[in-house]
């Protein structure tokens, strides 16, 4: 299962990795790290398929019938493997908590380096190539040897002032230097165009220089293509997928503590936007108080302010209101960021436990299913395993999406798939204990024939 999922990842990123000159070692290293990150998907599916195949083989060879005839129940037959599954679930939790965060860090760091590195210059016929910084190169055609080229166009904007230099040539060769640090375009029968600026301004400030050549060597620096740039792993840390339970608990506690502190700071800072609380506002209030107020209040508040101060008070109030709104919007966005961080941390926290429980749950589904279908091998068991795994995968991703969008709490979203599949486990165990023929073709054909005979008899009597 892990191999299948790893190959799916490889085909997904093949276009970005193939043709850049990466060594086999780097590709295998990336696949190794990504295989570790795919264990949460592969392990439950492998457990489900293995349990169906194991009990299916026992049912197909009538071993279950022989064991049951000696007085041993199905639950007792499942008990030793259930103990083994508990050990596997414990190992799955250890792997998820200690290995996967490190693998995620190394995998995504290496993938980032590979996606942003260019080890070879890929020049295709009839297309402009901009991989060399500051140049745009177009080759009309290339020979089979990969060196001889024709109809070459080179735009040079390395000076940072636009395409002020242009090279056109009918033919040429691409020749790498011995140390692979430079690539030489040996061009023949062409023209060079350069635009010069004399700095005096006016309509005559620009001039164009045209030069014809029989042979011209254009040298490109290939130092950026010599090796993969390695990003510092510490700069990639911080994502919840790269943390263990202890680190997640620390981050969750930190976010929970930050929210009340931010609320307290907001309450304190907001007072500065209330003019009556500030020194300037108190001074203004004293000026207004010096004016003899009417005995009976009439009109609005502004009517009580003298004309000489009314405009000043109005502008100050509008300015303070705008500032208070802006500060409130920023604080609300900060609270939203805290809430998103908390949800992401909680989702990852529950994921580490739900993986272990999923192994147990899918064993409890697969074992009785194998006893019911009584088919071993990799045919029918694989089909049934894929059906239930797809159901598990869809419900788990749906729950995670609902949790991320704040539609449901993280604990409910991350355990939703387990809660939905748990009744199937009890149902299949009950059917297997009663020797149900739920997946027997003969059982369905016999019942359909009985139903047809019943309708025929009812129609005859009528």
Q: How far is CA 339 from the centre of its chain?
A: 19
At 139 the three-state DSSP class reads strand
How confident is the model over 421-427, as a mean pLDDT? 89
Domain borders along the chain are: 2-117+349-448, 128-225, 243-346
Residue 119 and residue 113 in contact, taking contact as beta carbons nearer than 8 Å: no
What confidence tier does 380 reach under pLDDT thresholds 50, 70, 90?
confident
Give, to the nearest 10 degrees, the angle between helix 2-17 and helix 39-60: 140
Residue 294: pLDDT band (50, 70, 90) is very low
Helices (H) and strands (E) in the chain, counts: 12, 6
Residues 13 and 357: beta-carbon distance below 8 Å: no
Residue 35 is predicted with a pLDDT of 82
Per-residue pLDDT tens digits for 224-262? 555 555 666 665 666 788 888 888 898 889 888 888 888
* CA 396/CA 390 separation, integer angstroms: 10
pLDDT in the model for residue 83: 92
pLDDT in tens, 437-456: 766 666 667 777 777 777 77
Q: What is the DSSP string of 106-131?
A: HHHHHHHHHHT---S----BTSEE--
Q: Of 202-211, 264-273, 405-414, where does mean pLDDT reach its minimum? A: 202-211
Q: Say which DSSP state 27 is in.
A: H
CA-CA distance, 147 to 39, in Å (whole number)?
45
Name the burial class of residue 201, with classes exposed (0-12), middle (13-18) and buried (19+) by CB atoms within 10 angstroms of its CB: exposed
Beta strands in 201-337 (DSSP E): 206-221
pTM: 0.65
Backbone torsions φ then ψ of 208, nearest 5 degrees:
-115, 135
What does the alpha-carbon distance between residue 15 and residue 19 come to, in Å, rounded to a whole number? Answer: 8
Per-residue pLDDT reduced to its tens digit, 82-100: 999 999 999 989 988 888 8
Asked if 425 contacts 364 with a C-beta cutoff of 8 angstroms, the reply is yes
């Amino acid at each position: 299962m892990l191999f299948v999922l790893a190959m799916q990842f490889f085909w997904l990123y093949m276009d970005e990795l193939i043709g850049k000159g990466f060594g086999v070692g780097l590709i295998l290293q990336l696949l190794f790290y990504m295989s570790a990150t795919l264990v949460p998907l592969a392990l439950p599916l492998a457990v489900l398929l293995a349990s169906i195949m194991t009990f299916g083989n026992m049912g197909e060879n009538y071993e279950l019938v022989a064991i049951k005839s000696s007085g041993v129940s199905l639950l007792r037959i499942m008990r030793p493997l259930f103990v083994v599954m508990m050990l596997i679930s414990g190992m799955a939790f250890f792997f998820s908590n200690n290995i996967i965060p490190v693998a995620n860090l190394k995998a995504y760091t290496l993938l980032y380096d590979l996606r942003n590195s260019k080890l070879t210059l890929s020049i295709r016929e009839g297309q402009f190539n901009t991989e060399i910084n500051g140049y745009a190169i177009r080759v009309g055609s290339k020979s089979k040897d990969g060196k001889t080229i024709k109809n070459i166009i080179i735009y040079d904007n390395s000076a940072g002032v636009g395409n002020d230099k242009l090279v056109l040539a009918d033919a040429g060769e691409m020749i790498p230097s011995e140390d692979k640090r430079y690539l030489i375009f040996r061009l023949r029968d062409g023209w060079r165009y350069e635009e010069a600026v004399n700095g005096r301004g006016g309509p005559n400030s620009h001039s164009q220089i045209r030069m014809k050549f029989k042979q011209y060597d254009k040298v490109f620096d290939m130092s950026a293509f010599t090796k993969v740039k390695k990003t510092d792993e510490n700069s990639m840390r911080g994502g919840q997928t790269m943390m263990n339970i202890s680190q997640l608990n620390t981050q969750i506690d930190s976010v929970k503590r930050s929210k009340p502190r931010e609320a307290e700071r907001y309450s304190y800072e907001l007072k500065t936007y209330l003019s009556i609380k500030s020194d300037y506002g108190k001074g203004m209030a004293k000026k207004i108080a010096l004016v003899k107020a009417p005995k009976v209040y009439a009109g609005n508040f502004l009517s009580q302010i003298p004309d000489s101060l009314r405009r000043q008070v109005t502008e100050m109030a509008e300015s303070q209101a705008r500032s208070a709104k802006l500060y409130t919007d920023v604080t609300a966005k900060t609270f939203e960021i805290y809430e998103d961080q908390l949800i992401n941390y909680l989702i990852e926290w529950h994921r580490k436990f739900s993986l272990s429980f999923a192994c147990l749950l899918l064993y409890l589904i697969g074992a009785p299913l194998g006893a019911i279908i009584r088919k071993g091998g990799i045919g029918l068991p694989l089909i049934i395993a894929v059906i239930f795994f797809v159901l598990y995968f869809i419900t788990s991703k749906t729950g995670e999406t609902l949790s991320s969008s704040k539609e449901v709490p993280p604990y409910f979203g991350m355990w939703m798939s387990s809660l939905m599949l748990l009744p199937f486990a009890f149902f299949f165990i009950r059917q297997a204990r009663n020797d149900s023929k739920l997946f027997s073709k003969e059982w369905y054909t016999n019942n359909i024939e009985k139903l047809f005979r019943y309708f025929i008899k009812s129609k005859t009597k009528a």
